[in-house]
Amino acid sequence: MKKTNVKSKLSTIAIITVLAISTMLFALPSVNAQANSIFAFPYVNAVPNPTEVNTVVVIHVGSVYPTPSQVGGWTGLTVEVTKPDGSTEIIGPINTDTTGGTGVVYVPTLVGTYTLQTHFPETVTTASGYYGPSGTIMEESLSDPLELIVTDEPVAYYPAFELPTEYWARPIDQQMREWYKISNNWVGYVPPTNNDPTSMNAQFNEYAPETGHVLWAKPLTMGGLAGGVMYEQGFEQGDAYVGKFGGGGLFGAAGPVIIGGVLYYNQFESNGGSAVDQWVNAVDLHTGELLWSKPLITPGGSNLRLAFAQVFYWDSYNYHGVFDYLIGTESAGFFGPTNWHGFDPFTGRWIWTFEDMPSGVKVYGPKGEIFLYNLNKNAGTLSLWNSSRVVSTQGSYNPQGVVANASIGIEWTINVTGLS
């Protein structure tokens, strides 16, 4: 009897267990089929705030969640504006970009306190993202309200900074915008016999130091009296054709450059080319401290001299900033193609290569882009090459590791009559 009872009990337990597992198995698909639902965390901001009446305000609106690039941004957002007199206004519908946010302009016409609030409509996602898998429900949501203060007085966007009256150092706080007048860069030497226009290289030279005191000095080579059996002769220090500083000599010299308060120069004269070591030194212009000293090496192993530099402002919907490069040139013989190689001034690291550069007169553009104008008398054409066209894609500027044929930088070619 006991065995029978035990068996019966065990059988009963087993049946119940099987039924429970079956129930769970049937229940699981329905649980998994339920979509995730999350709060969208919308936001709203206004710049400037406070602001002056009847002036433009940029309203930043969106969700903290970015979206996958293949589906675009969020759509159908609105901003409810409650005015000082109690009336309301709806801005929208607003579509964001893939960062999850965007900006719209608004002009307040009343003095007082406005209240802004973003409305995010319920949205079912069609691709996986930071919010979760495809099919996630972004709940209908409201942002925290934002007060926008509107006055009838002019509002200063940022305080002005006076130019320094005592010693100062780099880097300069970017908020001190007025200091641009005393912080220009020198991107390359243009000798008087060279046909390259000086362009923007020499702006703001009127703000020279108020004293001629020597801050620091560095030896470039052996100097002074040789002595002994050399009698009154001194050690050689180069001449007009073999310069020791910058190293190109009188004609077309590749002189030193200055970027961000750092002096860059070729340590050795140009004679010998790639058959001898060629180093570039980076020295703090204020203190004389040697920051780094190394050769500029291309991916192919070429050891280049510093030829000139570029300080280039990239301004697009994706990226805003100044890019800086030390540039070395490499030629495959007198009639061979010329390559340009860009290096990071902070470290000396190779960044990019433009192969098969076109010839032409070099000009720096208003944002520091390098233009080459080529006038072909035989073909009767004038071409413009633009350095910023070589690597600019999708609104960003990412030249790291780029090896590109420079011909893609030709912006236009026009016919010119009467050249032949």
Q: Residue 356: which region, alpha, beta or left (left: phi > 0; alpha: psi -120 to 50)?
A: left
Q: DSSP per residue over 75-119, as a string?
A: --EEEEEE-TTS-EEEEEEE---TTSEEEEEE---SSEEEEEEEE
Question: What per-residue confidence (pLDDT) applies to 223?
Answer: 86
Task: Give the C-alpha separation, 201 to 207, whole Å.
Answer: 14
* Residue 319 phi, psi dihedral angles, 5° rounding: -150, 135
Question: What per-residue confidence (pLDDT) applies to 40?
Answer: 96
List, run by run, the mean pLDDT of 10-residue segments along the chain (420 residues).
38 41 40 72 96 96 94 95 97 95 97 98 94 94 97 85 88 91 81 49 61 84 91 85 62 72 90 84 94 95 92 87 94 77 97 94 89 91 93 79 93 87
Contact 303, 295 (CB under 8 A): yes
Q: What residue ranges define each of the domains in the chain, with the CATH number in brackets? A: 37-151 (2.60.40.10), 177-415 (no CATH)
Give the CA angle between residues 354, 359, 361 to the nearest 5°.
110
Question: What per-residue confidence (pLDDT) applies to 157?
Answer: 73
Question: What per-residue confidence (pLDDT) applies to 207?
Answer: 62
Task: Give the C-alpha separation, 183 to 204, whole Å.
Answer: 8
| DSSP H helices in 243-351 | none
Give residue 250's identity as a one-letter amino acid code: L
- At 177, is the secondary structure helix, strand, or coil? helix
Pairing of strands 112-120, 146-151: antiparallel
Question: What per-residue confidence (pLDDT) applies to 34?
Answer: 56
Give the CA angle between residues 80, 81, 85 to the nearest 5°.
140
Give the CA angle between residues 337, 394, 73 to the nearest 5°.
170
Q: What is the CA radius of gyration of the chain?
A: 33
What global pTM score does this model have? 0.73
